[in-house]
Amino acid sequence: MSWFTVGEIIIWLALAATLGVLLGWLLHEIWNRARPATTAQSVPAAPAVHATIKGNHRSMIYHVPGSPLYERTQTDIWFTSEDEAQRAGYRKPKNQ
């Protein structure tokens, strides 16, 4: 039976450690690219002076002032008209 020398053991340990670091870095990069970045772009901008229609990008529904869920709607985008919201692919809620 052949035994490894101390030098060979040190080399194998160094290679294993390097591989572990590289694998950790790779997993970190994959994880960060898979989830959306939280940046200033993901925060809705203040509405334009005449923009009163709220849009929610997850549901692709827009809400006009006075509608039942207008105040509770989490605003991702603002529109100045219903026509503008519809051109952007949003629709009215089914309860309106």
pTM over 0.85: no
pLDDT tens-digit map of 18-47: 999 999 888 888 877 776 655 444 555 666
Q: Are residues 54 and 17 in the same domain?
A: no
Confidence of residue 51 (pLDDT cuts 50, 70, 90): confident
Q: Are residues 13 and 47 in the same domain?
A: no
At residue 41, the pLDDT reads: 47
Q: Is residue 4 part of a domain?
A: yes
- Total tally of structural domains belonging to the chain: 2
Distances (CA, A) of 59 to 2, 28, 90: 66, 30, 8
Q: Are residues 50 and 27 in the same domain?
A: no
Domain range holding 50?
A: 42-87
Distances (CA, A) of 57 to 5, 35, 61: 62, 17, 7
Element of type H or E holding 84 = helix 82-87
Q: Is residue 57 part of a domain?
A: yes
